[in-house]
Amino acid sequence: MVRNVMRNKSLYIYLSVTALVLVFFGVFLWVSNDSEANSKEVELTDSDANNPDLIVNGIHVRTGLVEGEGLTEVITNCTTCHSSKLIIQNRMGTEQWNATIRWMQETQGLWDLGENQDIIVDYLTTNYPTFKKGRRAALTDIEWYPLDSK
C-alpha cells in the first residue's frame, strides 16, 4: 500500500514537472514566433551585399549606425580607426564628445576635423544621446541597523 502511494506521488510529480516544462517551451516558442512575425526582415540580394551605403529600416547595414544627417562624416572620420560598435556604446553629451575628440587628437593621432567636428558631434548627440535613466544613484546617509538572528 505504501509502495503504491509513493509510486503515485512520484508519478504526479513527474507529470507536473513535465507539464510545466511543456508549457514553458510552448510559451517560449509562441513568443519567439510572434516576434519573428512582427519583425521587418528584409532579404538582401547579392548586389545589396556589395553596396557599402545600404540603409535598411533606418540603419546603415555595414556599420549598424542610425541613418541621419552627419552619418557620412561619422563613417568617414570615425570608423577609419575603430569599430562603429565603439561609437554606439559610448553615449555622451556635446562637451564630452568634444573632449573625447580633443583627447584622440592629442594622444591617438586623430586629424583636425575642421567643420566636420560640429556635424559629427551633432550626429552623435542626436542619435546616441546620454541615457535619461541608468543605474540608480548610490545610497547615501543610510542608518544601518543590526538584524536580529532569532
Distance CA 93, CA 148 (A): 47
**Can you tell me the mean pLDDT for 18-24?**
70
For the chain, what percent of residues have pLDDT higher than 70?
72
For the chain, what percent of residues have pLDDT higher than 90?
45
Q: With 80 as the cut, is the pLDDT of residue 116 above it?
A: yes
Q: With 80 as the cut, is the pLDDT of residue 18 above it?
A: no
Q: pTM of the prediction?
A: 0.58
